[in-house]
Amino acid sequence: MTKIKSAQFVKGAVGPDSIFNDMRPQIAFIGRSNVGKSSIINSLTGQNKLAKISSLPGRTREINLFLINDSFYLIDLPGYGYAKLPKDMRIEIEKLINWYLFLSGYEQKKIFLIIDAKVGPTKDDLEILQAFREHNKNIVIVVNKIDKVKSSEKDKQIKKIKDSIGECKIILCSTKSNIGIPSLLEELMQ
C-alpha cells in the first residue's frame, strides 16, 4: 500500500474551475454538516490543521481540493442538511454539491459518503445514496463517530445502518478513537 507522503491545500472552488480539468483523479468526501469529513481528511493525511474543523456545523462552504502525493485530489465538500444555516446559504451549498457531483461532468474516481454512527443514515443521506446509485458512482460508506455508540448497542446499531443502506462497502470509523483509519487509507490509496 502506498502511503500519504504529501498533502497540500490547493484551493477552494465555488464553481467551474480549470483545476477540475487536471488529469489527476478526484476522490470526494461528502456527508451531512458536522459528520466529520474534514476531521477524517486530517486523520488520513496525519495533518491536524489541513482541513478546517469546527464544532459549529457549516464550516466548509467551498469545494476544497487537497493534492495528495502529487498524484490525486482529495475533495472536501461542504456538508448538507444543516437546518440552522440561513436558507439562501443552504440552497447555495446544495446547488454547489449537486453541480459538482451530478452536473459538472467531472469524474470522481471514488466517493466516500460519511454518515453519523449514532444518528444513522438520514433522509438526506439516503437520497444522495440513491442518486449515486442512479449515476453509477463508485461509493464507500464511512460510518464515523462510532465512539459515540455504546458498546452494548453497537451490533444492533450497525445492523440497523446496514439494513437501511443495503448492498454497499462500509467502513466503521472514529477520528476521535482512531478507529478504521488504516482501512480508509487502504481504500483511498487503491
Ligand X SMILES: Nc1nc2c(ncn2[C@@H]2O[C@H](COP(=O)(O)OP(=O)(O)OP(=O)(O)O)[C@@H](O)[C@H]2O)c(=O)[nH]1
**Which residues in this chain contact ligand X in the complex, by CB under 6 A?**
31, 33-39, 53-55, 57-60, 78-79, 144-145, 147-148, 174-176
Choose the one of Mg ion, ligand X, none that binds residue 55, judging by a C-beta under 5 to 8 angstroms depending on kind: ligand X
Residue with smaller CB distance to ligand X, 33 or 108 = 33
- Least distance CB 21 / ligand X (angstroms): 25
**N residues, the chain:** 190
Q: Render 88-124 in DSSP notation, one character per residue.
A: HHHHHHHHHHHIIIIIS----SEEEEEEETTT---HH
Give Cα 106 to chain centroid, integer Å.
17
CB of 4 to Mg ion, least distance (A): 19
Nearer to ligand X, 31 or 120 (CB): 31
Q: In the numeric block, which cell numbers belong to residue 70?
A: 502529487
* Binding partner at 148 among ligand X, Mg ion, none, C-beta below 5 to 8 Å by kind: ligand X
Q: List the beta bridge partners of residue 29.
A: 76, 112
In which residue are the cell numbers 477540475 written? 20
Q: Write down the least CB distance from residue 36 to ligand X, Å.
A: 3
Query: Which does residue 57 bind out of ligand X, Mg ion, none, counting CB within 5 to 8 angstroms by kind?
Result: ligand X
Count of helices and strands (H, E) across the chain: 5, 7
**Smallest distance from the beta carbon of 16 to ligand X, in angstroms?**
22
Which partner, Mg ion, ligand X, none, binds residue 176 by CB below 5 to 8 Å per kind? Answer: ligand X
Shortest reach from residue 77's CB to ligand X, in Å: 8
Pick one of ligand X, Mg ion, none as the site partner of residue 145 (Cβ within 5 to 8 A by kind).
Answer: ligand X
> E-strand spans in 50-188?
63-68, 72-76, 110-116, 139-144, 169-172
Looking only at the bridges linking them, the beta strands covering 7-13 and 63-68 are antiparallel
Question: In whole angstroms, what is the distance from residue 74 CA to residue 60 CA?
Answer: 14
Q: Is the Cβ of residue 23 or residue 83 nearer to Mg ion in the bound state?
A: 83
